[in-house]
Structure 1
Amino acid sequence: MFVGDSISLNQWESLACMLRAAVPNTRTTYTRTDTISTVTFQNYAVSVMYYRSTYLVDIVTEPIGRVLKLDSITGGAWLGIDLLIFNTWHWWTHTGSSQPWDYIQDGSQVVKDMDRLVAFSKGLATWAKWVDSNIDTSTTKVFFQGISPTHYKGNEWGEPNAKNCYQQTQPISGSTYPGGPLPAQSVVKNTLGGMSKPVYLLDITLLSQLRKDAHPSAYSGDHTGMDCSHWCLAGLPDTWNQILYAVLTT
């Protein structure tokens, strides 16, 4: 089960397509509810699921409005799954009309906004406590999908005249990204390092930073404007899944 935002959806769609291509003659079914999408390969009794949870922690509608609760998490649907791949970050940077909440609650304190990296750290700490308290890692393997980068600022990769990923057709050469690591990466690594249960970091950030050419840009039918956040399929998420497969089989 992939649990997270639309970047998790990217990887789930990729894996479902890769598996279908590997066993083209198997019977498959697709089901969807408000929060869970499932592709089942019936001949193998294998289900690949995507659970949409943009922040992992809860957003609750209250009289004052929609409240992002940094210390509240509802994960009952994640229990009893053989493999969990969590992800969040993309929506933590959204502001204004594009953010799906009106207030943030941290403990008993309710605020209109706060430093987003601090909020992300607090929310991820709540998720880590939930995993440590609820997941039996002898039967469930847990992964955290690393931070997926965006390409909206050309100066980050040495092209100051590039406003975004539009018309980028080549990856960045070499094995370093001029813009350096992302601050959220440290939050993830520090959080995972403090957990009592083993969680494997699927560290896809650097290899994805080098792929400024791999976004839908202006050619996505599902998004208006320039999409330099998500990834084309077939494409880069296939590589993420190849890495996931390599880890699972070693």
Structure 2
Amino acid sequence: MSVLGSRFPMPTEWTTGYRLSKMALATTCLFNATDFLDRARDGRIVFAGDSIVRNQWESLLCMLAQGVSNQSTIYEEHGSPITKHKGYLSMHFEEYNLTVEYYRVPFLVIIDRPPKDSPKEVRGAIRVDRLHWYCAKWVGADILLFSPGHWWNEDKTLKMGNYFQEGGAVNTTIDVKEAFGKSLITLMSWVLQSLKPEQSYIFFRSYSPVHYSSSENFKKVEDRPGIVQRYEEFNSL
């Protein structure tokens, strides 16, 4: 059993929403940061993926910080500022010997230069069969949370000239959905080969709602009354 595995009961129900409401505020009151930190002592929690999981990482840090009396004992292990950041960040909770890490890998797999003799429209190659090299740093983590779906769309791939590569060649006929599926097979293969089921818990989230407020984004679902009604009901609580 992992360091954290026996200390955290697995969730049986999840609630999602677009904005922090009275219901969400009431739910957060149930969170006990000190208890969480005690359970997570000597552990590693890894967030890897896009800006959605970056927000989740930041939220957890803020919540856990409430359980630490001396805030100076919480610090980024490499002295990096907690701002817009390309790379990875590792926050250490000294009193509990706990690290909560974030790795910016929007596709989870490697984005590379296209092979020679690729078609002119190919400006970059998303290597669906090669996981990002940061994966070596994830080995041994107690909890891993992956969230890559936000970037797997035509706007951030094909329309930007980023096509999909397997082996030594780019495939210009493959669509985003199929390529995403291939990348998930790559991730799963790595999980099975590199992680120990008795040590690590793994959570995965694919596509998520956008995480910024925009009337234009909301208009996209106006033709779906059920979604609009649930959204309005949630925010009226």
TM-score grouping bracket, smaller chain normalisation: 0.5 to 0.7
Letter of the 1:46 partner, please give it.
L
Q: How does 1:51-66 map to 2 (within 5 A)?
A: 51-62=103-114, 63=116, 64=118, 65-66=123-124
Q: Are 1:87 and 2:150 matched, yes or no?
A: no
Pairing partner for 2:222 from 134, 141, 155 = 155
Letter of the 2:70 partner, please give it.
N
Equivalent residues of 2:149, 2:205 under 8 A apart:
no
Q: Name the % identity.
A: 30
Q: Distance in 1 between matches of 2:48 and 2:226?
A: 34
Pairing partner for 1:12 from 54, 57, 60 = 57
Gap regions ≥5 residues in structure 1: 163-169, 174-209, 214-250
Letter of the 2:204 partner, please give it.
F
Post-superposition offset of 1:19: 0.5
Post-superposition offset of 1:66: 2.0
Gap regions ≥5 residues in structure 2: 1-45, 211-216
Report the counterpart of residue 74 of structure 2 in structure 1.
28
Q: Distance in 2 between matches of 1:97 and 1:136?
A: 33
CA radius of gyration, larger in: 2
Post-superposition offset of 1:132: 0.9
Q: Distance in 2 between matches of 1:99 and 1:77?
A: 32
> What is the number of equivalent residue pairs in this alignment?
169
Q: Distance in 2 between matches of 1:59 and 1:49?
A: 21
Name which of structure 1's ranges 133-142 and 47-56 shifts more when overlaid on structure 2: 133-142
Equivalent residues of 2:142, 2:199 under 8 A apart:
yes
For the aligned residue pairs, the C-alpha RMSD in angstroms reads: 3.1
Post-superposition offset of 1:136: 0.9
Q: Distance in 1 between matches of 2:151 and 2:173?
A: 14
CA shift in 2, pair 1:101/1:52, >3 Å:
farther
Post-superposition offset of 1:24: 3.9
Q: TM-score under structure 2 normalisation?
A: 0.61
Q: Are 1:138 and 2:198 matched, yes or no?
A: yes
Letter of the 1:49 partner, please give it.
E
Q: Distance in 1 between matches of 2:49 and 2:167?
A: 23
Q: Distance in 2 between matches of 1:104 and 1:15?
A: 34
CA shift in 2, pair 1:95/1:40, >3 Å:
same
Letter of the 1:51 partner, please give it.
Y
Query: Relative contact order, CA 8 A, sep 6+: which one is greater?
Result: 2
Letter of the 1:71 partner, please give it.
D
Report the counterpart of residue 103 of structure 1 in structure 2.
163
Post-superposition offset of 1:14: 0.4
Q: Distance in 2 between matches of 1:156 and 1:12?
A: 33
Equivalent residues of 2:49, 2:104 under 8 A apart:
yes
